Amino acid sequence: MKHTKHTKHTKHSLDVAALLDDSAPPFALLRRRTPGLDHDTVEVLTGPVHEAQRLADLPLGDLPTLALVPFRQIRERGFDVRDDGTPLSVLAAERAYAVPLAEALAALPDHAVRVEGGGFDVPDEQYAATVERVIEDEIGRGEGANFVIRRTYEGSIPGFGRADALALFRRLLVAERGAYWTYVVHTGERTLVGASPEVHVRMTGGTVVMNPISGTYRYPAGGPTAESLLAFLGDRKETEELSMVVDEELKMMCTVADRGGVVVGPRLKEMSHLAHTEYELRGRSTLDAREVLRETMFAATVTGSPVQNACRVIERYESGGRGYYAGALALLGRDAEGAQTLDSPILIRTADISPDGTLRVPVGATLVRHSDPAGEVAETHAKAAGVLAALGVRPAAPRPAAGTARLGDDPRVQAALADRRRDLAPFWLRMQDRPAAAEGHALVIDAEDTFTAMLAHVLRVCGLDVTVRRYDDPGLRAAALAWTGPVVLGPGPGNPADPADPRMRLLRALARDLLATHRGGILGVCLGHELLAAELGLPLVRKAEPAQGAQVPVDLFGAREVVGFYNTYTARCDDAAAARLAAAGVEVSRDPATYEVHALRSTAGATGTTGSTGGFAGVQFHPESVLTLRGADLVRGLLASMRPVPTGPGH
């Protein structure tokens, strides 16, 4: 079948009267800053809205489909989520056309919208206390590296109608620069009006793009300056926050892309009330666009990492469901050649308005180990500012004078961004080719952290076929013990020394059995390393300060390496334990001051400690992380130090 370009590519006049007619069908108006599109146009979609149960049910035809994907849809990935009943709504366009931006601005209503009874559901003091609890009780107990906790500005708009929705959209078009999508979507049951800065996922011609944005530069009262921006760019907390979400979204990219992902950037995204630092991730995929959408629910920038456990933390700290907040809009269609297309922004910086005028503007801050509670409170205010200014709740930001240079163009800012790029592993800065033929088959055990997707990609580039299985898959233990190639015990959240945790009990027993019998080589990463260390008789202790997302130089078996840690717990090895292990053929790399173990490995022919005739190694850091500069080389070396990898397909 020959496909033709959508009618949305033809310029039309905006029929505002038709949009305002309550008997007219639902509509969406979109200004997208998608590469390859005319940014000075507004796309108009009209058509019926229906509800779908699964992303796989979304229609994909010649005219575009716009899906409103609620946060609860993440249950499709098997994650825990509070089910608030928010529907997966689908606008299947019967008409789609484009209007020049200037004409749209001239035609749209231009009046103020009045908000009554507005305020945040969680007061500033309470939100600050929540920040402290998350740092201490979640990050401080190994539940993850970062978490996004929501608070919501609530109010009402008396007499709210379609004209108000269009007026709010117009105000955002005029005032909120730098948005990826600016939009109004009216389904009949609710209205979403927003200006999202962030790509969730985009796919065209088989190329997949994600856009992790993290780190927030709040403009000072006197306006942004290059000096204050440079101070922000040099802030360790802000740098680590962005690196962590890059790692988390690379996990998703390595799941959906055939050859892993490539990191582009960093860049500065300047908006009306704040600026963000961002990267772009690119890969190539043969998956259906709806499958790509499913496997990327949802960005770490709105959940935390690892995402599965972040969903549990969100349930513990947030009241009620998230609705559409942190979900996504998803525009699906086909290009002129018939290939699938997907363009999806994250649903943030958005007003969610019910037919009776009930208003919700949810926002969240990314909480990390260095978070300052007062700073995170201020960040939520800054993130809500663009939408609240459109609503008239707070003053609009002053427009830059014509000809004013962007701060991101300042050579000093460009140099600071380039410095950040030099801190990333070169492995992830270019596409990696796999060897033509595999030299073995590795089994990677996922302990609820999809860093294993990145590990799998690194192992494939190292010349192995790879199978990834969850720790609780039926039959995993038998398969692991019978495996003839390397077994990788992967990372995961939680306290490895907690005997009450059934996941830890299962993984600890598996590590014990593998050390006793496995002949094909064992590699432990982070949690997997801690389990191996415990079986070698080393105590596991809570670190004085969590090292979640920390890039640190260490002495690794006599060589200086810059590596990325994501751990709250660690094995400790004093001089007596080091001597005992050395006598048994185990070499330990440790911090000389704290005795914290960075890595361990069996020496050639070592059997005295475990009875295993194969080699083993463990690393507390993440060799697959963008923070570990020579991670792939370290993995190759550790594999080579073990028993030679058998050829053949494995099991």
Q: Catalytic residues, which ones? A: 526, 622, 624
Query: With 0-12 CB in 10 A as exposed, 13-18 as middle and 19+ as buried, what is 16?
Result: middle
Give the span between the Cα atoms of 251 and 262, in whole angstroms: 12
Q: In 10 A of CB 430, how many CB atoms?
A: 9
- φ, ψ for residue 182 (rounded to 5)? -115, 135
Q: Helices 373-390 and 124-133 meet at what angle, rounded to 10?
A: 130
- DSSP for 72-126, written as a single string: GGGGGGT---------EEEEE-SEEEEEEHHHHHHHS-------EEEEESS-HHH
Give the span between the Cα atoms of 390 and 393, in whole angstroms: 8
In the block, residue with structure tokens 């740092």: 135
Give the span between the Cα atoms of 552 and 565, in whole angstroms: 8
8 neighbors 331 (Cβ within 8 angstroms): no
Cis link prior to 306 (omega < 30° from 0)? yes
Per-residue tokens: 612? 């295993």
Per-residue tokens: 360? 């919700």
How many angstroms separate the Cα of 65 from the Cα of each of 2, 39, 350, 391? Answer: 19, 20, 20, 28
How many angstroms separate the Cα of 48 from the Cα of each of 186, 189, 411, 513, 514? Answer: 11, 12, 50, 58, 57
In the block, residue with structure tokens 């000072």: 220
Residues in the chain: 651
Per-residue tokens: 417? 């961004």
213 neighbors 200 (Cβ within 8 angstroms): no
Give the span between the Cα atoms of 617 and 604, in whole angstroms: 12
Q: In 10 A of CB 398, how many CB atoms?
A: 9
In the block, residue with structure tokens 């020394």: 497
Give the span between the Cα atoms of 590 and 134, in whole angstroms: 29
599 neighbors 620 (Cβ within 8 angstroms): yes
542 neighbors 569 (Cβ within 8 angstroms): yes
Give the span between the Cα atoms of 330 and 292, in whole angstroms: 11
How many angstroms separate the Cα of 256 from the Cα of each of 250, 252, 261, 467, 519? Answer: 10, 6, 9, 15, 32
- DSSP for 77-91, written as a single string: GT---------EEEE
For the chain, the 3-state helix, strand and coil shares in percent, each to the nearest 5, are: 30, 30, 40
Q: Which amino acid is at 216?
A: T
302 neighbors 148 (Cβ within 8 angstroms): yes
Cis link prior to 266 (omega < 30° from 0)? yes
